[in-house]
Chain A
Amino acid sequence: MSKKVLVVDDDPDVITFNVSVLEENGYEAVTAQNGEEGLKKIKEENPDLVILDVLMPKQSGIRLYRALKTDKTLENTHVIILSGIAKKTFLRSQKALTEFGGEEVPEPEIYLEKPVEAEELAQAVKRVIG
């Protein structure tokens, strides 16, 4: 059975690109267009991996990542961040949220800055879930 990957991104072009890369490499792709919908899909679909954008309506990838990594039932979900927002900003933001009284969260397994080549994305996915 093919492994399931959830793509959370508000840009329809990015979703189309990611889904086609994933399907060409034998993965099953499901999608969500913002962090709020993403969290719902994670609970419903139980994906092997989430490819997550950061700057999105309703709920950002920063908050969704935090919600995942501080939930005992979801914390082992693999995550690749794929965003135009710099990795340094993502890490500083998580640090600020921890300083405001939040739980400490681990760094994402892989952080890719947009735009990404098909090959680079496919390799990253393979590295994380095989």
Chain B
Amino acid sequence: MEIRKLLFVTKFEQLWFDALQSLLDLRKTGLNHVVFLNVIEREKVALRRGTGYRKEEEVKLREMANIRFIDWAENLFEQGMEVGAYITVGDLVHQVLSACEKEKVDLIVIGRPRRGKLEQFYAGSDVMEIIRRSKTPVLVYKYLHPDASQAEKPFQRPLLALDWSPASLRAMDCLKGLKGILSQVHVMHVIDEKNLKSLSGMTVQKARKEARKRLEEVCETFESEGIQAIPHVYAGKPAVEIEKAARESQCTLIVMGTSAQVSWKERLSGNIPEALGVKSIFPTLLIPPEDR
């Protein structure tokens, strides 16, 4: 899986050009085309009693976005990259998926909503919906150094969380395709605490040993590609343990597969990859299954 073209979704509130610049390492592995997307929320220009549709507001917001995009595009054009831009009014999920389809991008980059609780509930569910419906990998970008004290390098030290599903194995292949920019990969598996109940100490140890063996095999495949890889087995609640592992190993990115189907409970609260995508402090790269 190669990342040649990415869709950079921004509202100019939580994702700026420096985030995109931190991803330009991907040029070493084939990235040569960036498409910008700014979606103007409908409620900002919607019909209001006494004023009607706020066309002037739409024009103002479009022009403000256009000015930012021209500035960003000039920077990328001068590096010999190809650049495109969309400024649209409407529903974020629909506009992102539509631009993704039109442009046939290899990666969607989107920011994590950083708002009040109620707004986050809705905006967070937009990001979850994109993760859930996208056939394209989604990178939910977060700044590891929001004060800009250090340059962001998200692909430097990723944590690959494996549950052995087809999507997580696809995530592993995706990382191998990025070998030119990774300095080290941490590979982990979480033994879910739900499966530990009613097991003897011996059986738990056996499960750990088996997981460790599989992870070592995965690490060998990374090492054969020239990528240093370190295995970790954790036990507990998967989302919590993945976050913990990313911290303990000072990782710069969490990478995982997303499941093909979601239960009704997950539809409401989000499954593990969706929850990490929205809530984790780490940038999160989520790889959908091939058959979505």
Check if A55 sits within 8 Å of B69, measured CB to CB. Answer: yes
Q: Mark B67-100, 1 if CB is under 8 A from A, else 0.
A: 0011001100111101111100000000000010
Indicate if B18 sits at the interface (CB-CB under 8 A).
no
Q: Which of B35, B77, B80, B86 contacts A100 (CB 8 A)?
A: B80
Check if B102 sits within 8 Å of A58, measured CB to CB. Answer: yes
Interface size on B, residues (CB 8 A): 18
Measured between beta carbons, the chain A residues less than 8 angstroms from B102 are 57-58
Measured between beta carbons, the chain B residues less than 8 angstroms from A55 are 69-70, 73, 83-85
Q: Which of A57, A62, A89, A97 contacts B85 (CB 8 A)?
A: A57
Complexed CA–CA distance, A59 and B86 (Å)? 12
Which label, helix, strand, loop or mixed, suits the secondary structure of the A interface?
loop
Complexed CA–CA distance, A128 and B184 (Å)? 57
Check if A57 sits within 8 Å of B84, measured CB to CB. Answer: yes
Shortest A123–chain B CB gap in Å is 25
Complexed CA–CA distance, A56 and B36 (Å)? 10
Check if B77 sits within 8 Å of A89, measured CB to CB. Answer: yes
Q: Mark A45-89, 1 if CB is under 8 A from B, else 0.
A: 000000000111111101100000000000000000000111001
Indicate if B217 sits at the interface (CB-CB under 8 A).
no
Complexed CA–CA distance, A92 and B35 (Å)? 20
Measured between beta carbons, the chain B residues less than 8 angstroms from A90 are 77
Complexed CA–CA distance, A55 and B73 (Å)? 8
Taking residues whose C-beta sits less than 8 angstroms from the other chain, chain A's interface range is 20 to 34
Check if B74 sits within 8 Å of A60, measured CB to CB. Answer: no
User: Besides the contacts A57-B103, A58-B84, A62-B77, what 9 more A-B pairs have beta carbons closer than 8 Å?
Assistant: A57-B84, A60-B84, A85-B70, A85-B73, A89-B74, A90-B77, A96-B79, A97-B80, A99-B80
Check if B84 sits within 8 Å of A56, measured CB to CB. Answer: yes
Chain A's closest residue to B35 (CB) is A57
Q: Mark B45-80, 1 if CB is under 8 A from A, else 0.
A: 000000000000000000000100110011001111
Pairs of residues from A and B, 6 with the lowest C-beta to C-beta distance, nearest first: A96-B80, A93-B77, A89-B74, A57-B84, A92-B78, A84-B70
Residue pairs across A and B with Cβ atoms less than 8 A apart, 9 shown, are A54-B73, A55-B69, A55-B83, A55-B85, A57-B86, A58-B102, A60-B83, A84-B66, A92-B78
Task: Take A57-B102, A58-B103 as given contacts and tell me if A85 and B77 are in contact as well, using a CB distance cutoff of 8 Å.
Answer: yes
Measured between beta carbons, the chain A residues less than 8 angstroms from B99 are 57
Measured between beta carbons, the chain A residues less than 8 angstroms from B86 are 57
Complexed CA–CA distance, A58 and B69 (Å)? 15
Q: Mark A16-59, 1 if CB is under 8 A from B, else 0.
A: 00000000000000000010000000000000000000111111
Q: Mark B98-129, 1 if CB is under 8 A from A, else 0.
A: 01001100000000000000000000000000
Check if A92 sits within 8 Å of B77, measured CB to CB. Answer: yes
Shortest A78–chain B CB gap in Å is 23
Complexed CA–CA distance, A63 and B82 (Å)? 8
Measured between beta carbons, the chain A residues less than 8 angstroms from B82 are 59-60, 62-63
Complexed CA–CA distance, A86 and B71 (Å)? 10
Measured between beta carbons, the chain A residues less than 8 angstroms from B78 are 89, 92-93, 96
Complexed CA–CA distance, A58 and B82 (Å)? 10
Measured between beta carbons, the chain A residues less than 8 angstroms from B66 are 84
Measured between beta carbons, the chain A residues less than 8 angstroms from B80 are 93, 96-97, 99-100
Complexed CA–CA distance, A34 and B80 (Å)? 19
Chain B's closest residue to A84 (CB) is B70
Complexed CA–CA distance, A96 and B173 (Å)? 32
